[in-house]
A and B are shown apart, each in its own frame.
Chain A
Amino acid sequence: MKKFINKPENFVDEMLKGIYASHPQQVMFVANDLRCYVRKEAVKGKVGIVTGGGSGHLPLFLGYVGEGMLDGCAVGGVFQSPSSEQILEVTKAVEQGAGVLYLYGNYTGDILNFDMAAEMADIEGIKTATVVGNDDVASAIKGEENKRRGVAGIFFLYKAAGAAAAEGMSLEEVKRVAEKAKANVRTMGVAFTPCIVPEVGKPSFTIGDDEMEIGMGIHGEPGIRRGKLLPADKIVDEMVYPIIKDLPFEKNNEVAVLINGLGATPKEELYILARRTLHILEEEGLKVFHVYVGEFATSMEMAGASISLCKLDEELKRLIAAPAFTPFFSQKQL
């Protein structure tokens, strides 16, 4: 294991201390717990949006806390859910009288703790609603979308719901927007190498030097096919066509595209994927509204990438286009 580490058990807390020290104008922690991460400036009367999940995926999850996006994040250990108490503390900190939306990925531990926190918040008089991202096409067949994992495509849910809350929509409306985005986002990933959880100290799985695994999850969950490494365009074909077929995306649909690196893959390669992806979309008659290329949801030092498509209507387009400003992501009005 070659990592910048002092002690494996301090990995998450030292990372958090670094973030707070680097971005003191934008974020802080509450409840005397580094893992209760919130926006510095609360907006009165705005619906709060809280996410959470394991560490090891930056900029997911906490990276989207900031102006125009989320209000708080409960931070778990590497690949571990935060506790319900941490979620509750973040909830209490971001509540501004309009209720709080829980928006996170579809993982058992996270669901258990967010549901528990929602019940506790209710007892303490805070109204919450929940939307769980499940964009990973490879993780369950069509018709069983509720079993699909949440991966990079949750970025579009954050973006749309965050902009909706910033516009002053009610909790019900922000939830509706998040659900609409969720229904219209699909992702496929491919992994080349495993990642190493610091406290484990060795790779989470093994894969041959000349192999890839299509559909692997962001914690190394098994994908749908392992095989010899193919040329980039062939890999993109194997990812994009299943996404298009799944929703399905149809001729003249307007889409936003997210090409995401899993941690160790250089941006150069991501643009090679973007090139082929956009070529396919053009051939399929899909209209591209905007393309995001970079790291949005990683898996430590895993090499690989994911491709997400989000089908847009006028409302989603407006919300995706709205400005946002966080320590990890910012965009001008598109």
Chain B
Amino acid sequence: MEALLREHLEPLFFSIKESFERNKEFLIDLDSKTGDGDLGLTMSKAFSAAHESVKASNSSNLGQILAMAGIAISRAAPSTMGTLMATGFMRGGKAIENAQRIGTKEMADFWLAFSKGIADRGKATEGDKTILDVAAPVAKSFSASAEKNESLAVAMRYALDAAGKALEATKSMIAQHGKAAVFREKTIGLQDAGGSALYILVKTMHDFVLA
């Protein structure tokens, strides 16, 4: 697949929804160790609503569809991670406003805005052991691929690789935000829950593009 087109969005979001459904218990367990354990439910609800929104949309503007999916996430999941994920999609969608296709360049613009959006909203910086620690490396990877004019498939592979490494790296970080911050040093060795959710998102997009 060279680029995501309008007709790909509904099946893509269906895949994402299914992924989070499959990983619900995994995320609940992970989040229970340092948070309030609702992340699996939140993400499942969030992407189920996002899928509904994409399915119902009659827009041909891909950025608008993604931004509206963000609004749907915000409605369905008004928790911290839901709000951050919503902000990511809203900002990302806005950044590729009027896009008719999503190739490597659009993917880079989407993820840069996504990453900046969650940093702004969550007032987090890289290294704080948050979703940003996976989102920012993914954005950087897509940017680098865009500069080198890589195909979307290759860019997705690099991005997944970056996401995996970034998620692994969160294990050595100490949580600074939210409920997890209470546990501080005890969070060492655990991969970040929000970062894990983002990894699942990237992995699903990767599998979809390369299928």
Q: Taking beta carbons and an 8 Å cutoff, which residues of A are in contact with B?
A: 83-85, 88, 112, 115-116, 119-120, 122-124
Main secondary structure of the interface of A (DSSP, over half): helix
Of A88, A112, A119, the contact of B91 (CB 8 Å cutoff)? A119
Of B64, B78, B90, B121, the contact of A120 (CB 8 Å cutoff)? B90
Q: Taking beta carbons and an 8 Å cutoff, which residues of B are in contact with A?
A: 64, 67-68, 70-71, 74-75, 78, 83, 86-87, 90-91, 93-94, 121
Q: List 7 A-B contacts (CB under 8 A).
A: A85-B78, A119-B87, A119-B90, A120-B70, A120-B71, A122-B94, A123-B93
The answer to whether B78 touches A123, judged by C-beta atoms less than 8 angstroms apart, is no
The answer to whether A116 touches B68, judged by C-beta atoms less than 8 angstroms apart, is no
Contacts of B74 in A (CB 8 A): 84-85, 116, 120
Q: How far is the CA of A85 from the CA of B74 in the complex (A)?
A: 7
The answer to whether A116 touches B83, judged by C-beta atoms less than 8 angstroms apart, is yes
With A85-B78, A116-B83, A122-B94 known, 13 other A-B pairs at CB within 8 A are A84-B83, A85-B75, A88-B71, A115-B121, A116-B87, A119-B90, A119-B94, A120-B70, A120-B74, A123-B68, A123-B71, A123-B90, A124-B71
Main secondary structure of the interface of B (DSSP, over half): helix
Q: How far is the CA of A119 from the CA of B70 in the complex (A)?
A: 10
Contacts of B90 in A (CB 8 A): 119-120, 123
Closest to A115 in B: B121
Given A112-B121, A116-B86, A116-B121, also A123-B67 (CB < 8 A): yes
Q: How far is the CA of A141 from the CA of B62 in the complex (A)?
A: 47
Contacts of A119 in B (CB 8 A): 87, 90-91, 94
Q: How far is the CA of A85 from the CA of B91 in the complex (A)?
A: 17
Closest Cβ of chain B to A307, distance in Å, is: 34
Closest to B67 in A: A123
Closest Cβ of chain A to B145, distance in Å, is: 27
Of B67, B68, B78, the contact of A83 (CB 8 Å cutoff)? B78
Contacts of B87 in A (CB 8 A): 116, 119
Residue among A85, A115, A120 facing the most chain B CB atoms (10 A cut-off): A120
Contacts of B68 in A (CB 8 A): 123
Contacts of B67 in A (CB 8 A): 123
Closest Cβ of chain B to A35, distance in Å, is: 13
Given A85-B75, A116-B74, also A123-B121 (CB < 8 A): no
Q: How far is the CA of A123 from the CA of B121 in the complex (A)?
A: 17
Q: How far is the CA of A220 from the CA of B112 in the complex (A)?
A: 40
Q: How far is the CA of A73 from the CA of B91 in the complex (A)?
A: 26
Closest Cβ of chain B to A264, distance in Å, is: 34
Contacts of A122 in B (CB 8 A): 94
